[in-house]
Amino acid sequence: MKDKIYIINGPNLNKLGIREPDKYGTLKLQEIEKICENKCDELNLSCKFFQSNFEGEIVNKIHNAIDENIKAIIINAAAYTHTSIAILDALKMFTGIIIEVHITNIHSREEFRHHSFISKVAQGIIAGFGKESYLMAIDYLYKLINKKV
């Protein structure tokens, strides 16, 4: 039986490919999801993807992860990373592994992006490697799930 993970993306990530391609690259979210799905298949993980521009929908998806006994969450909460106590509170209830991911290096950008509420509950943070941030998170989750770290 495959371990199940969620990959959750926040606001404006549905516009990858046209959103500041100099910072975020030219791949669309669906293309990144396909790359992640292939990586998960390779590692015998089952992944579900979710993207929303609405904070409450992200909170609900985290609640679903609790109810569905999901093993881990990779989350790129985008701008909500820096503002959402509601997402933090939902993640505090999740007992699985949490990896915070960002396509860009949030610490080399505007100062308001340097603070993350999510990092308080994440086992790890990966930022600044484009689509590779997601793949690095999947690799590390696999190791954590299988106690290889």
Give the per-residue pLDDT at 22: 87
Catalytic residue among 102, 134, 140, 142: 102
Give the per-residue pLDDT at 107: 83
Q: How does DSSP classify residue 17?
A: T
Closest CA to 10 of 60, 64, 57: 57
Mean pLDDT throughout 19-39?
93
102 is catalytic: yes
24 is catalytic: yes
Confidence of residue 20 (pLDDT cuts 50, 70, 90): confident
Q: Are 62 and 80 in contact (CB under 8 A)?
A: no
Mean pLDDT throughout 69-74?
96
| Res 110 pLDDT > 80 | no
Confidence of residue 147 (pLDDT cuts 50, 70, 90): confident
CATH number of the domain that residue 37 is part of? 3.40.50.9100
The C-alpha atoms of residue 5 and residue 65 are separated, in whole angstroms, by 8
Give the per-residue pLDDT at 109: 78
| Residue range(s) defining the domain that contains residue 84 | 3-145
Please state, for a pLDDT cut of 90, what percent of the chain lies above it. 83
Catalytic residue among 6, 24, 80, 134: 24
Domain count, the chain: 1
Provide the terminal-to-terminal Cα distance of the chain, rounded to the nearest Å: 22
Average pLDDT, whole number, for the chain?
Answer: 94
Mean pLDDT throughout 85-112?
92
